[in-house]
Structure 1
């Protein structure tokens, strides 16, 4: 490392947007991080990925990236395309304007990939960064891929002996071959059920189905986001969440106080859907710490940390559990890049646990800078 590298601030590339249907949510997440990141400690480079996959240099201004009821932000072509390093011996980002030669923009020390959904949260960008030994915030290739796919996530949890609820999966091939047989494979699930794309988040394409007559339409709605669909038995009880942070060195993962989301009646939301999450703040009550018996809160934290370790996660994750009416705690899913706006549940749970939003951002960047490159 040169003396200049010793004295300069670490340069952080904030990468957001992407090709998935969660593109606007990713932009909103970037807006929150750009507002809160400590500019005295870090040199920040905002890099947007347009819907067609182009990487572009974006103005360092969070305002156009805010998500509202009337504005769905998106990354547009700015005329300045970005190329990341292409070898392990180079940390220099190159930029290119039309009609101009590539020019060096500067070195990047760590990437903060604020991408939600496929083509970002699913191990794809993580694999690209691993190829050139670029450090980044969050989980690696395998944990990201398994965490994105609810089918294999549940298989891994079940194989590790972690408690999960009943579910079925309808693949693209099964649906195309025989609708009736695919629907018959769901027999035995207790209604209501939740029909979801296997590899999407932010409640995109999710439907609550109260009886078999609504299944086909719900499956088709989910298939608009992913051709593989998961059908989960509705668990009678409460949905409890827990935020997890990677420990330093050999430390075990750290867990926040558990939190709970309650969808308020009278707002037209039958469950915690996209509009309730991001557009209608009055529709939900976010409670942290959740009102739980001490032993139940401890069990949620234990399962959250164990799920994090079972998948081999790094950096951050949010684990969603059910506290069933019969007293059981079941894992619903893990999110390796959870909602990360200042109002999202993950940062809010850490806020209530004593770690502010700017401190959380700093902690995650610090963990990424510590991480080994190559196989770990």
Structure 2
């Protein structure tokens, strides 16, 4: 494409600010190396005033924001009004993916297996009564990167509910034992979504939490296309990831997270991420590389496939 001037959105207001800054630093290096002119904006509460000024003379916005305000349809809506193409999904898909209960309803309707869940209030949790049979998971209904997630196991003591008071909406869902698996999907403009690979995540933590995702000290092991994964399971994960991407109306890059219990054969989708991380420890760049697409090629592809909602 002829576009050369990129506005890189970085940082932002969410709990995932540090992840966004790390992703953006990697993206900026790659874009500059590819010959693009890059300017940046760290959007705050005054974004309605700062964004129009930052967009002057810009051809494409690279959205490296993560979490609330940057990944949930809000910034996408402003960019649609400006009619400047931006990377990743549009308003509706971004909003639905961030809303875990609603996205799971759509997945189930599309035949993608899900985990049973129900809404819960902090007041209910504070009574000490279990809202579901143990083991179960407590999580914010609208959050990413495993922020705020707590697992309640059989025989464990009182659940630490600290931090949950900051969320307007909470949910609980069944805990699925077994293996943590993830699949990245790319969709070029005018083409069908294409799943890249299956990665198994092995961590010494209780689950693939925020630290396991973004801290080098966590020593999480990424196994791309593991030989120990049955072929029919791998194929199901690839096809369901593409279906989930399409069901939500996503575009560009996404990543779908799953649990697989080899004892029962159960597979369940947990969520779709419309702004997959682009840090040195992130999964999308790793899976893209497994298909022969290096990091610079990946971010250039994202720029070339940037779009506004129709």
On whether the aligned pair clears a TM of 0.5, the verdict is: yes
Query: SS at the partner of 1:115?
Result: coil
Corresponding residue for residue 14 of structure 1: 8
SS in 2 for 1:163: coil
Instruction: Give the Cα–Cα distance (whole angstroms) in 1 for the partners of residues 65 and 256 of structure 2.
Output: 18
Instruction: Tell me what 2:97 maps to.
Output: 147
Q: Structure 2: give runs of 5+ residues left out of the alignment.
A: none
**In the alignment, is residue 352 of structure 1 matched against residue 290 of structure 2?**
yes
Sort the Cα spacing of 1:228 and 1:183 in 2 relative to 1 into closer, same or farther, 3 A.
Answer: farther
Preserved CA contact (<8 Å) 2:122 2:164: no
1:164-199: CA deviations, max 9, x gaps? 1122222xxx545x6678956x23x3x222211111
Whole-Å separation in 2 of the counterparts to 1:302 and 1:281: 33
- Equivalences for residues 1-376 of structure 1 within 5 A: 9-50=3-44, 53-54=45-46, 83-85=50-52, 93=53, 106-170=56-120, 174-176=121-123, 183=129, 186-187=131-132, 189=133, 191-211=134-154, 217-218=160-161, 220-224=162-166, 226-249=167-190, 251-264=191-204, 269-291=205-227, 292-325=229-262, 326-368=264-306, 371=307, 373-375=308-310
Structure 1 residue 257: Cα displacement: 1.3
| Structure 1 unaligned residues grouped into runs of 5+ | 1-5, 56-80, 86-92, 95-104
Once residues 17 and 214 of structure 1 are traced to their aligned partners in structure 2, the CA distance between those partners, rounded to angstroms, is 37
TM-score, structure 2 normalization: 0.90
Q: 1:9 to 1:335 in 2, by over 3 A?
A: closer
Structure 1 pair 288–47 and aligned structure 2 pair: CA distance change class (3 A): same
CA contact (8 A) 1:223 1:229 kept: no
> For 2:225, what is the secondary structure of its paired residue?
coil
Where does residue 72 of structure 1 map in the other structure? Answer: none
Mapped to 2, the partners of 1:227 and 1:213 lie a distance apart of: 26
For these two proteins, the number of residue pairs brought into alignment is: 308
CA root-mean-square deviation:
2.5
SS in 2 for 1:107: coil
Partners of 1:19 and 1:313 in 2: how far apart?
23
Change (3 A) 1:45 1:331: same
Deviations for 1:250-278, whole angstroms, at most 9, x for unmatched residues?
x21011110011003xxxx2222222222
What TM-score, normalized to structure 1? 0.75
Cα offsets for 1:7-66 (capped at 9, x unmatched):
x7521111011111111111111111112224443111111124xx245xxxxxxxxxxx
Distance in 1, matches of 2:126 and 2:212, equals: 33
What secondary structure sits across from 1:12 in the alignment? strand
Tell me, what secondary structure is at the counterpart of 1:155? helix
